[in-house]
Chains A and B, each alone.
Chain A
Amino acid sequence: MDNMNLTLKIWRQKNAQDKGKMTDYNVTGISEHMSFLEMMDVLNEQLINSGDEPVAFDHDCREGICGSCSMFINGEAHGPVKGTTTCQLHMRSFSDGDTIYIEPFRAKAFPVIKDLIVDRSAFDRIQHAGGYISINTSGNTQDANATPIPKENADLAMDAAMCIGCGACVATCKNSSAMLFVGAKVSQYALLPQGQVESKMRAQNMVAQMDAEGFGNCTNTGACMVECPKGIDLSNIARLNRELLSGSLT
């Protein structure tokens, strides 16, 4: 279908101080082949042409790798299709005449900057607290293959490293918990020999920062894993719990 008409209910908020509210828009001439972000571009052109303020939203790569596009669409992070980001969502997932709710990712730790753009720098601060390895970069780097790593661990570490830091896990979780993100970031190092140097403190420090940022507590509902565009598994949270326990009990 090439000419869908949609009713959009979009969160509009001028800046961090503004109270904000849901506002209704009509958008016409939407092709089912457009991505959701392209549909937003069409809406913004309409708004600009009529002298209104376009809707601010985050985007960068538009191919599902940067994690910047956000949006809570019809009650789900990144919309109704599993395993995709908003830029990978197509309008064929909707029908002519639909009403679509579009809201920012909501969490106290992700304050709204403007409209649909939220500040996810809490994730950066969690990374700074422990999501790194200490390594000699003086030039005499050893060959990567000189350190044997079991295939299974290499695969699991790679799976964990798939996390793009989008924040869908937080947005989805009824508790606004960041445990899937932190679990992935801790796991990608915990499974590799290079990550062992800081392993005793890594989970503790990242979790302390996570708590300080005001994310909620995990209650193992598993919603994060279902909505994660990169399929990060819940077992990463169990590993985080283990890493924290073994780090703090020894």
Chain B
Amino acid sequence: MASKVQGLTSIGRKVIMALTGFFLMFFLLQHLSINMMSVVSAELFNEVSHFMGTNPIVQGLLQPILIFSVVFHFVWGMYLEYQNNQAREIKYAMYKGSANASWMSRNMIISGLAVLAFLALHFYDFWIPEMNVKYIQGDMSGMLSGTEEYRYYEELVHKFKGQPIRVVLYIISFVMLSLHLLHGFQSSFQSVGYNSTKYTPIIKIAGNIFAIAIPAGFVLVALVHFLSH
């Protein structure tokens, strides 16, 4: 049998979608672990933030992979959506999507775009100022200017303290992330070809737990800082 394949097949692209999804979920777990430290101890949070912010492996390797994953994932997600729209030129007069698939699975583009909007805000809030301080102003010390204290904890608290609108936006975004992951977690296993009668039910349960617990954790951190300062 000769090969008819030219470039990446639809499945090949879907696999990259799933792999970037996996990496983003791993990143969420790591990010939440550090955020949680801010609830326990300001010092611990400062130490770990400084380590993550200045470690060459994190900054030079993991951060570029992360940026690639986010960009590939949303650009490709939007392109997939466009292609899938093209695959049915005349729409049905009557279509009962809810009869056979969950809302989450049918609206990944909506939950995804909401998360993207949040990411834009988040970049503006944290990432751009961080890059500016470290790589443009060249201040790698991590100190609050004019003091002997790390700035990370202060910056985090500052974003939530007395900022109800930001906290509400934050909560809405994480509900959207939760909806995205309620379908996405288990879906990515199927995309890379994993489906077993024994373990797929467990993956689905683990996925539901992950999809609810992780966003709930982020919301908790925001609420703690909003309410306790």
A contact residues vs B (CB 8 Å cutoff) = 9, 11, 20, 22, 72, 74-76, 80, 101, 103, 106-109, 129-130, 172, 174-177, 198, 200-202, 204-205, 207-211, 214-223, 226-227, 234-235, 237-242, 244-245, 248
In the complex formed, the residue of B with least CB distance to A21 is B93
In the complex formed, the residue of B with least CB distance to A129 is B4
In the complex formed, the residue of A with least CB distance to B77 is A219
- Chain A residues near B100 (CB, 8 Å)? 76, 172, 221-223, 226-227
B106 and A75 contacting across the interface, CB-CB below 8 Å: no
* Cα distance, A234 to B197, chains bound together (Å): 11
A248 and B12 contacting across the interface, CB-CB below 8 Å: yes
A218 and B14 contacting across the interface, CB-CB below 8 Å: yes
The yes or no answer to B212 lying at the interface (CB within 8 A) is no
23 contacts between A and B (CB under 8 A): A74-B96, A75-B95, A80-B99, A106-B88, A107-B87, A108-B86, A108-B89, A175-B84, A200-B1, A201-B2, A207-B9, A207-B11, A208-B4, A215-B87, A216-B88, A220-B186, A220-B187, A220-B191, A221-B101, A226-B100, A244-B9, A245-B11, A245-B15
Given contacts A108-B88, A108-B89, contact A241 B1 (CB under 8 A): no
- Chain A residues near B10 (CB, 8 Å)? 207, 210-211, 217-218
Of B4, B14, B186, the most chain A CB neighbours within 10 A belong to B4
The yes or no answer to B6 lying at the interface (CB within 8 A) is yes
Of B4, B88, B108, the most chain A CB neighbours within 10 A belong to B88
- Chain B residues near A204 (CB, 8 Å)? 3-5, 9
In the complex formed, the residue of A with least CB distance to B14 is A217
Number of interface residues of B (CB under 8 A): 47
- Chain A residues near B97 (CB, 8 Å)? 174, 223
Given contacts A172-B100, A205-B4, contact A217 B191 (CB under 8 A): no
- Chain A residues near B14 (CB, 8 Å)? 217-218, 241
* Cα distance, A215 to B86, chains bound together (Å): 9
A205 and B83 contacting across the interface, CB-CB below 8 Å: no
Least distance between B212 CB and chain A CB atoms (Å):
20
- Chain B residues near A239 (CB, 8 Å)? 193, 195
A176 and B1 contacting across the interface, CB-CB below 8 Å: no
Given contacts A103-B92, A208-B5, contact A234 B190 (CB under 8 A): yes
Cβ-neighbour of B9 out of A76, A130, A208 (below 8 A): A208
Least distance between B26 CB and chain A CB atoms (Å):
20
Q: Which of B185-211 contact A (CB under 8 A)?
A: 186-187, 190-197, 200
- Chain A residues near B105 (CB, 8 Å)? 219-222
* Cα distance, A210 to B197, chains bound together (Å): 27
* Cα distance, A238 to B15, chains bound together (Å): 11
Least distance between B86 CB and chain A CB atoms (Å):
7
The yes or no answer to B156 lying at the interface (CB within 8 A) is no
A238 and B101 contacting across the interface, CB-CB below 8 Å: no
A174 and B190 contacting across the interface, CB-CB below 8 Å: no
**Residues 162-189 of chain B, each 1 if its beta carbon lies under 8 Å from chain A, else 0:** 0000000000000000000001001100
The yes or no answer to B61 lying at the interface (CB within 8 A) is no
A74 and B102 contacting across the interface, CB-CB below 8 Å: no
- Chain B residues near A201 (CB, 8 Å)? 1-3
* Cα distance, A108 to B88, chains bound together (Å): 5
* Cα distance, A44 to B109, chains bound together (Å): 43
Cβ-neighbour of A76 out of B80, B87, B96 (below 8 A): B96
B101 and A222 contacting across the interface, CB-CB below 8 Å: yes
A103 and B4 contacting across the interface, CB-CB below 8 Å: no
B3 and A205 contacting across the interface, CB-CB below 8 Å: yes
B194 and A238 contacting across the interface, CB-CB below 8 Å: yes
- Chain A residues near B89 (CB, 8 Å)? 108
- Chain B residues near A234 (CB, 8 Å)? 190, 195
The yes or no answer to B91 lying at the interface (CB within 8 A) is yes
- Chain A residues near B75 (CB, 8 Å)? none
- Chain B residues near A237 (CB, 8 Å)? 190, 195
The yes or no answer to B90 lying at the interface (CB within 8 A) is yes
The yes or no answer to B31 lying at the interface (CB within 8 A) is no
* Cα distance, A235 to B186, chains bound together (Å): 13
* Cα distance, A198 to B4, chains bound together (Å): 13
Given contacts A76-B99, A223-B100, contact A241 B192 (CB under 8 A): yes
A198 and B1 contacting across the interface, CB-CB below 8 Å: yes
List the 10 shortest-distance A-B pairs measured between CB atoms, nearest first: A75-B96, A216-B87, A238-B195, A242-B193, A226-B100, A175-B84, A241-B193, A221-B101, A176-B87, A101-B94
Least distance between B145 CB and chain A CB atoms (Å):
48
